[in-house]
Structure 1
């Protein structure tokens, strides 16, 4: 029976790159959904004005920015408390 292959830990550069990729994909999706909602609202409710499109696209981009900020700085998640470790004693 073969043993499972040993996985080496991911480098910090790879972790940051994955977070940036997730943030960019999230920005594209949420801004696109906001744009779509804005177009529909503009056509149906606001007699083809441009401001609903800009407003809802901005809401989508802002939501993506907030999610990205939370992924890079977990201390900003509500209810999370960061506890510092006491300094190690030298002998």
Structure 2
């Protein structure tokens, strides 16, 4: 690993890569859980597969949204430059 600072393009690309990997993992886990639930509990209906895959994709989207927009993280407060200078 080099200690040189990353360009902003590299930071964005890394975030997109993490989001895509998270989307594939959570979507795959949701799909797997849906298949198991469909076979065991719901007599091979397709709606549990769609529902659980949608839950996984929605969770991945929410995580990606938080990584690109830190203001959406609960409990954080964004201070302007003027208010941070006044409090210091």
The CA RMSD measured in Å over matched residues stands at 1.4
Counterparts of 1:10-25 in structure 2, within 5 Å, are 10-25=6-21
Scaled by the length of structure 2, the TM-score of the pair is: 0.90
Unpaired segments ≥5 residues, structure 2: 83-88
Matches within 5 A, 1:60-79: 60-79=56-75
Report the count of equivalent residues: 82
* TM-score, structure 1 as length reference: 0.87
Say which of 69, 76, 80 aligns to 1:84. 80
2:44 pairs with 1:39:
no
Larger Rg, first or second structure (1 or 2): 1
CA distance in 2, matches of 1:40, 1:55: 13
Q: Which runs of 4+ in 1 moved over 3 A?
A: none
Structure having the higher helix fraction is 2
Q: Deviations over 1:13-57 (max 9, x none)?
A: 000000000000000000000000000000000000000000000
2:48 to 35, 45, 52: 52
